[in-house]
Amino acid sequence: MPAWIKNYWMLVGVVLFLSASQRKDHPFHVGVVEIEHNAKERTLELSCKLFTDDFENSLRKRFGVPVDFSDPSRKTFMDSLVARYLREQLVITINGKSLPGAYLGFEQEKEAIYSYVEYTGLGQLTQLKTDCGLLYDQFTDQVNIFHVTIGGKRQSSKISYPARQLDFRF
């Protein structure tokens, strides 16, 4: 058998192996929430990063509607779903008061969705509590990591299903 045929079949084998080993799902389920107090603007800025496929599946399951972050014609509809989901699954209590946040929108970056919420009219923050159920309806191994920065001091913590609450004190 000519060498080029052997090389061809070896290349086909490598391509098939690599394509078979490329899984669309990922072996871990994690979300990241960044919260930062902007003392000058008197705001609390929150960003939430979730894997796109996991988030789409969760929204689809929760609301029973077709979901697609990549379709620009559905941006307004997707904004309404994400805002509702975050209101229900990520409650922030500041200095003992549960305050409504203003949903600012989302953006897709590679395989993740970043969602943004802002809390306004805040003075000094001494305590921040979270009640988080992000993607708990999808995965019993879901972990959500929180990074909270207030007064230049950063604290990080993680919460794993089924636990929901974290308490940060500054």
Q: Which tens digits make up the pLDDT trace of 141-154?
A: 999 999 999 999 99
Average pLDDT over all residues of the chain: 89
118 is a domain residue: yes
Query: In terms of DSSP H, where are the helices of 22-167?
Result: 52-63, 75-89
pTM score: 0.83
When pLDDT is cut at 50, 70 and 90, the band that residue 25 belongs to is low
Q: Domain with 62 in it: what CATH number?
A: 3.30.70
The number of folded domains in the chain is 1
21 is a domain residue: no
128 is a domain residue: yes
20 is a domain residue: no
90 is a domain residue: yes
Instruction: Indicate whether 131 pLDDT > 50.
Output: yes
pLDDT at site 99: 86
60 is a domain residue: yes
pLDDT at site 60: 98
> Across residues 109-133, what is the average pLDDT?
95
Instruction: Indicate whether 167 pLDDT > 70.
Output: yes
Q: Which residue has the tokens 């008061």?
A: 97
Closest Cα to residue 119, out of 147, 156, 92, 89?
A: 92
C-alpha angle with apex 108: 107 to 109, nearest 5 degrees? 120
How far apart CA 57 and CA 47 sit, in angstroms, is 20
139 is a domain residue: yes
Domain membership of residue 45 as a residue range = 26-169
